[in-house]
A and B are shown apart, each in its own frame.
Chain A
Amino acid sequence: EDQVTQSPEALRLQEGESSSLNCSYTVSGLRGLFWYRQDPGKGPEFLFTLYSAGEEKEKERLKATLTKKESFLHITAPKPEDSATYLCAVRRGSTLGRLYFGRGTQLTVWP
């Protein structure tokens, strides 16, 4: 069964229009929630790790937050260069470090 579900599948924003991406998870014993950015034809690039409910991390226009059931990636005043697919992944306990990935949200920011 899906342990990580991302929504929406695709999101189109006008430049400057802030929004949020959602990652909901059903695993128990969360050992970390990870956000990645992936540009077309390239490997995913690590952005953030969150470990506990209430934690927040920021990087430029991106801010990730975590609750007990989901994480949000907030994008403030996005620019066209923020266009990419954003992937969420979780790590459970006792899995030798394996991550379980969602299918991603494809973000397009148009000028």
Chain B
Amino acid sequence: DVKVTQSSRYLVKRTGEKVFLECVQDMDHENMFWYRQDPGLGLRLIYFSYDVKMKEKGDIPEGYSVSREKKERFSLILESASTNQTSMYLCASQSLAGGHEQYFGPGTRLTVT
């Protein structure tokens, strides 16, 4: 079974803090994705990566950066957390061989106060 893990299930941070969210997948997938999910807005893509050290902006990259130094690990960084970044953050991985379905982690519920 594909396993995608995220470093925290719940996280509370203060405005202005630098926040790191980590995602690890164990299936040697090429692609990894970071989304945020808010009520009424659905899943919105923040960034994705198609290879080590490679990244592409999604629809809402402002206020975020990413890092992929190893194939299995993809980090999302909030440089200076703000209250409007309070959200559920979901990581996904995807193989380019086969069906291209994405497999999601359990999510991190981030609250910025």
Q: How many B residues touch A, CB cutoff 8 Å?
A: 28
Cβ < 8 Å to B, chain A residues 9-40: 31-32, 34, 36
**Binding site secondary structure of chain A:** strand
**Within the complex, which residue of A34, A43, A46, A99 is in contact with B90, where a contact is CB–CB below 8 Å?**
A43
A67 to chain B, nearest CB (A): 20
Is there contact, CB below 8 Å, between B101 and A34? yes
| Interface range, A side | 20 to 34
Q: Closest Cβ of chain A: how far from B95's Cβ, in Å?
A: 9
Interface 0/1 of A78-111, CB less than 8 Å to B: 0000000001010100001111011110000000
- Given the interface pairs A42-B107, A44-B90, A96-B48, the reply to whether A87 lies near B100 with Cβ below 8 Å is no
The reply to whether A87 and B90 form a contact with Cβ atoms under 8 Å apart is: no
Q: How far is the CA of A103 from the CA of B42 in the complex (A)?
A: 4
**Interface residues in B75-113 (C-beta closer than 8 Å to A):** 88, 90, 92, 94, 96, 99-107, 109
- Taking a contact as CB atoms under 8 Å apart, the answer to whether B101 and A49 are in contact is yes
A interface, CB within 8 angstroms of B: 31-32, 34, 36, 41-46, 49, 87, 89, 91, 96-99, 101-104
